[in-house]
Each structure stands twice: as structure tokens, then as C-alpha cells.
Amino acid sequence: MGTGPGLVEPFEARVREHLAQGRITFAPRHRVDALVTSGEPTGASAEASTVWSTRASTGVPSGQAVTGVRGTVLASDDAPRGVATNREPVGEFEFTAQAVLVTSGGIGGNHDLVRAAWPQRLGPPPGVMVAGVPAHVDGRMLGISAEAGARVVNADRMWHYVEGLRNWNPIWADHGIRILPGPSSLWLDATGARLPAPYYPGFDTLGTLRHLRATGYDHSWFVLTRRIIEKEFALSGSEQNPDLTGRDLRLIAGRLRGGAPAPVAAFLEHGEDFVVADTLGELVVGMNRLATGSGAPAISEPALRALIEARDRQLANPFGKDTQLTFVRGHRRSLGDRLLRTAPPHRLLDPANGPLIAVRLHVLTRKTLGGLETDLSGRCLRADGSAVPGLYAAGEVAGFGGGGMMGYSALEGTFLGGCLFSGRQAGRAIAAQL
């Protein structure tokens, strides 16, 4: 039980044990600028944006091996987690090794690089996004590895969420938090039009992203009630789930009680993307105020009222034709959903269920599904299919394995397994080589 810290805990314990035994050297503030090879130096380090394509560099001739890394020692900095640190160089370093394993993550923290790789099939890239990962997830090692001969493949495969919020208490710049929604919120595009089936909350992430990018605007809306937010809103991130992160059974049991969870209540009070109102007219005024400067037309209160009233009328009997409400009723046939995740169907405009709430949603950058092409042992491959001796990759920088084993659409909840498995494969292969 737990979140990210709980997952890392057993690995951290082993690393600390190896540190204490002198088997690992930990070198913070050492920025890798290039890979060292057994032949001539590869030259100046590359920025990822110049090589984030399917065209690989041929910087390391066939037969030469990667034998280490070189780079810059940066000045000490005690900034807290997520805050940008200084880039002041105070020295240089070079480490040699029998193998180099790249596990630097994807490109989600570098929005310019995300836009450069954005595929046409998802429509135009957003001008405004929030960051689901810290700035150090910048794709830099993709460029450096490509300069050493590794091939980058499937650059157009990516996974970004459409339910992003600006964190009212950010840890890093443009810090975004994802809503993990239940099925009941009414999803509108920036113009106030309801999203068609199957683009309902929690249904089809990339399909919804593609639909929303076709509207020409960077935001969308959830419209809901107090009853829905209390039952159906969860937030991603260890800080937003103190009960699971802290493995606190008493707090976890509190999810069965009424009222919004404390992290959700904090966003309601402080979050810039939330509008709370007693009447629909007041809600629309707040929505249009938030959307000022976005280029989207003002949402019409009469049009939105007609849309919601049409939806609410479908609750008159259990045989209504509203597809989303049919799915809501289906969710509630499961005991777990009925207790924890899905509010009873109700009229949005009934004051007894209020107040009304609107939530402005942003595209939240997250996962890179392409990357360094590898074989089944995690060895980085050149464009001709041969391995770059001494160079390995695992995790997101390798597209969670092989350079894109998830395909184009991927499957929510499977990314972690690719990180763990590709890391194990590479580790075993390196151990066998040594």
C-alpha cells in the first residue's frame, strides 16, 4: 500500500546499504554533457531538440564502445525539491565504466520539446500546458545518447492528460496536478459544447485529447456539483494522497465519510481553476472571467442552461437515453464504485445538490512513449540495428522498453511495469557482461 515513496522505499534501502558499504558513489550536481568512447571524443554535447527525431547520429563508429561520461560540476545549491537550482559551473569531471545505463526519463518537463515532437494525429500542440513532471525531465540525455550513436525512435508517441489543474501550492514551475475523475462530471469544451461519447471523464485519455485539440482552444471544463466533487474527485501525486502515502488506515477510512477529501477541499478554496457558485448565472460569469485572454468565445448562460436541463430530464426514469448517465448507473452496480467513487445520479441544477462547481482543465504533460531503441537486454541500438557497445537504457528514456513497447495508445496503469522490467533486464545484462 502507498504511492510513489512507498514504491521507491525498498530500492532506496538497498541503495543506502550499498552506499554505506562503499559499493556505490553518489555524485549530485554532476551534469553529464557527453558520453566518452573508446575512440575519439564525440565532440560537443547535443541538445535533445536537435536530435529528437527518428534520425540517429553516427557519432560513434562501429566497434567503438561507450566507456564513461564527462560533464560539468555545478555549484552546490540547497534549494528544496522541484525548485530550479543554479547552473554555475565550478569544475569538470570524467567517470569511466564498463557500462553506462541511461535512465533519465522522457521530455515532459520541456514543453518546447513536447511541441516539437507533437504528432499531427493529435491536432495542433497546445500553446499553454501544465507540467506533470519536474523540469529535469527535459530529454537532454536523449540528445547526448544520440550523439554517441544511439537511435531515437517513435518520437511521436506520447501520453498527456486532459484533466490538469495548476497546483495552488506548486513544487516545481508550472506544476500540474491531474484529476482522477469519477464518471459524473459534465465535460464541456472551451466554447461550452458538451463532449460527445465516448469522451467522458475517465474513459479515453488520448481520444479526448485529440477531440479537444481539434477545437482550437487549450482548455476545457468540468461542470459538477458539491455531491459529485465530494464523491468522485481524487488527485494524482503523493502529496495529494496523504492517507495512502502515509499508510494511515484511519485517514483511508475517512474516504467513506461525507465531505470532500482535504486535498480536494484545499483546491476548492485556493485553486485558480475553480469556480463555485450558487446559481448557474454566477457560475458562467466566473467561467468567462477565468477564460479571459484564452481566445475562446464567452460561454452563453442560456445555452448552458438548456444543455444541463436536457441532461437532467433524462433522470426522470431509469430508461433515459443519456449515454453518460447510463454509464454512471453501470458504475454504481459495483460495490466499490458505489461506496467510494460514483455519486448517485442527480440533477445538476437542483439547489439541494449544490453549490455548482466549474473546473478549468489544462493539458498536463506526462509520459514519453518513444525514446532510445534497445534490444531485449536494454542495449542501445544504432540505425543499422547493431548495438552501441557499453551503452544501455531503461525506463521512460527508452519508451518504457525497446524504444516504444507501449505502442501509440498505451494502456493506463501499465507504465510502471515497463520501467521496472526494462531496468531489471538491463541490470541483468550488464551484470552478465561484467
Looking at residue 1, what is its pLDDT?
A: 42
Q: CATH code at 64?
A: 3.50.50.60
Q: Are 269 and 187 within one domain?
A: yes
Q: Are 187 and 326 within one domain?
A: yes
Q: Are 191 and 326 within one domain?
A: yes
Look at residue 109 and tell me if it is in a domain: no
Q: Are 356 and 219 within one domain?
A: yes
Beta-bridge mates of residue 71: 32, 93
Q: Are 268 and 323 within one domain?
A: yes
Look at residue 113 and tell me if it is in a domain: no
Domain holding 99, by residue range, is: 27-104+146-157+369-433
In Å, how far from its chain's centre is CA 430? 30
Q: Are 208 and 250 within one domain?
A: yes
Q: Are 357 and 418 within one domain?
A: no
Looking at residue 246, what is its pLDDT?
A: 76
Distance, in Å, from the CA atom of 208 to the CA atom of 202, rounded to the nearest integer, reads: 10
Look at residue 7 and tell me if it is in a domain: no
Q: pLDDT tens digits, the chain, 434 residues: what are they?
A: 457 888 889 999 999 999 999 999 999 999 999 999 986 444 444 444 444 543 344 455 556 899 999 999 999 999 998 888 999 999 999 999 999 999 999 999 999 999 999 999 999 999 999 999 999 999 999 999 999 999 999 999 999 999 999 999 999 999 999 999 999 999 999 999 999 999 999 999 999 999 999 999 999 999 999 999 999 998 887 777 777 777 777 777 776 677 888 899 999 999 999 999 999 999 999 999 999 999 999 999 999 999 999 999 999 888 889 999 999 999 999 998 998 899 999 999 999 999 999 999 999 999 999 999 999 999 999 999 999 999 999 999 999 999 999 998 887 788 889 999 999 999 999 999 88
Look at residue 342 and tell me if it is in a domain: yes
Q: Are 82 and 217 within one domain?
A: no
- Of 323, 338, 364, which closes a domain? 364
Q: Are 374 and 348 within one domain?
A: no
Cell for 32? 553529464
Work out how many domains the chain is built from and give that number.
2
Q: Are 359 and 375 within one domain?
A: no
Look at residue 5 and tell me if it is in a domain: no
- Of 364, 391, 411, which closes a domain? 364
Under 8 Å between Cβ of 131 and 111: yes
Q: Phi first, then psi: what are they for 391, rounded to 5°?
A: -115, 125
Distance, in Å, from the CA atom of 30 to the CA atom of 41, rounded to the nearest integer, reads: 19
Looking at residue 2, what is its pLDDT?
A: 54
- Of 321, 345, 364, which closes a domain? 364
Q: Are 328 and 375 within one domain?
A: no
Look at residue 415 and tell me if it is in a domain: yes
Q: Are 318 and 422 within one domain?
A: no
Closest CA to 161 of 110, 204, 192: 204
Output the CA–CA distances (angstroms, integers) from residue 375 to 156, 280, 379, 403, in the order listed: 20, 57, 6, 9
Q: Report yes or no on whether pTM surpasses 0.95.
A: no
SS (H, E, C) the chain: CCCHHHHHHHHHHHHHHHHHCCCCCCCCCEEEEEEEECCCCCCCCCCHHHCCCCCCCCCCCCCCCEEEEEEEEECCCCCCCCCCCCCCEEEEEEEECCCEEECCCCCCCCHHHHHHHCCHHHCCCCCCCEECCCCCCCCHHHHHHHHCCCCEECCCCEEEEEEEEECCCCCCCCEEEEEECCCCCEEEECCCCECCCCCCCCCCHHHHHHHHHCCCCCEEEEEEEHHHHHHHCEECCHHHCHHHHCCCHHHHHHHHCCCCCHHHHHHHHHCCCEEEECCHHHHHHHHHHHCCCCCCCCCCHHHHHHHHHHHHHCCCCCCCCCHHHHHHHHHCCCHHHHHHHCCCCCCCCCHHHCCEEEEEEEEEEEEECCEECECCCCEEECCCCCEEEEEEECHHHECCCCCCCCCCCCCCCCHHHHHHHHHHHHHHHHHHHC
Under 8 Å between Cβ of 182 and 174: no
Look at residue 137 and tell me if it is in a domain: no
Look at residue 119 and tell me if it is in a domain: no
What lies within 8 Å, CB to CB, of 333 at 6+ separation is none
Cell for 225? 456539483
